Amino acid sequence: MSTTSSTLELARLVREGRQYWASQSGQAIRHAERACLGPVCESVFGAHSLELGMGASMADMCPVRHPMRWAPTRELADTASMLVCQPDALPLLDESLSLVVIHHLLEVVPHPHHVLQEAARVTAAEGRLIIFGWAPLGPGGLSRALPSRRRRLPWRGHWRTPGRLGDWLAFVDFEIERVDYCGFHLPGSLPSNAMLETLGRRHNLPLSDSYMIHARRKSQLVRPQGASLPFARPLGTSSLGGAASVGQARSEHELERMTEGD
């Protein structure tokens, strides 16, 4: 697929995603997810953050001085702080962001492992990488049994478990610190029942609509001076931040082979 056609497809996807997240169902899920993200934001400080998603800002409550959001085209950039680019080629320096949020994007983009690689590349060593995904065992996952629904958001794409994404994160030298489940409700209803949400989050049951992964960069052992360092080629195609970290030296081909069939 050419760059132009890929950008147009992403633009169509984002427009569809914005319609869903503006709907009653999307707003209810977003509210539950923001309640999960809020306590994380209280401990995140720094100069820069980035959100990769299709809806309104999730992390606007975080005390980060320069928050950015992403859009695939200038037409869809509704604020001056929008980063217009391909999500798998971020024009940012390595380890330059205190917080990166991927909000339900890995399920639907053509090359999700490339997007994850770029998000990991720009996350600072002391920063946080937050991933929101759809929970396959929740009410939404069960409703995907209807083939007609899989052509529409949010049921479209590949829904992966936190364990599967943990395997992907290991290849970019990140590890999962915690998984929080959010968006609890009975089948056929919206996640607006405060009692169900409180009980579900208290016991952290994997029976919700979505989950939130907290990930951090693994600690790197200090190598003796003069040791050979196996640098990899850049993970993204951006003009900034070309050097990859030592921990990301595994080949892209190996990760692609691992993600085949997802």
Looking up residue 49, the CATH number of its domain turns out to be: 3.40.50.150
Please indicate, yes or no, if residue 58 is contained in any of the structural domains.
yes
Please indicate, yes or no, if residue 66 is contained in any of the structural domains.
yes
* Spatial CB neighbours of 131, under 8 Å, sequence gap ≥ 6: 101, 102, 106, 116, 165, 212, 213, 215
pLDDT band at residue 147 using 50, 70 and 90 as cut-offs: confident
Please indicate, yes or no, if residue 260 is contained in any of the structural domains.
no
Please indicate, yes or no, if residue 230 is contained in any of the structural domains.
no
How many Å apart are CA 125 and CA 123, to the nearest integer? Answer: 7
**Shortest CA distance to 97 belongs to which of 70, 121, 113, 132?**
121
Please indicate, yes or no, if residue 72 is contained in any of the structural domains.
yes
Given this model, what pLDDT does residue 254 score?
Answer: 60
pLDDT digits (tens, 9 = 90+) for 31-83: 999 999 999 988 888 889 999 999 999 999 999 999 999 999 999 998 888 99
- Indicate the pairing of strand 210-217 with strand 174-182: antiparallel
pLDDT band at residue 244 using 50, 70 and 90 as cut-offs: very low
Strand partners, 101: 51, 130
How many structural domains are present in the chain? 1
Given this model, what pLDDT does residue 197 score?
Answer: 87
Strand partners, 68: 50
Residues 248, 235: contact at Cβ < 8 Å? yes
Given this model, what pLDDT does residue 194 score?
Answer: 82
How many Å apart are CA 179 and CA 206, to the nearest integer? Answer: 9
Please indicate, yes or no, if residue 232 is contained in any of the structural domains.
no
pLDDT band at residue 146 using 50, 70 and 90 as cut-offs: confident
Task: Please give the helix or strand (H or E) that residue 258 lies within, else none.
Answer: helix 252-259
* Spatial CB neighbours of 157, under 8 Å, sequence gap ≥ 6: 107, 108
Q: How far is CA 24 from CA 17, 19, 244, in A?
A: 13, 10, 42
Please indicate, yes or no, if residue 248 is contained in any of the structural domains.
no
Q: What percent of the chain has pLDDT over 90?
A: 60
The per-residue pLDDT of the chain, averaged, comes to: 84
Task: Please give the helix or strand (H or E) that residue 121 lies within, else none.
Answer: helix 112-122
Please indicate, yes or no, if residue 125 is contained in any of the structural domains.
yes
The domain containing residue 105 runs over which residues? 1-217
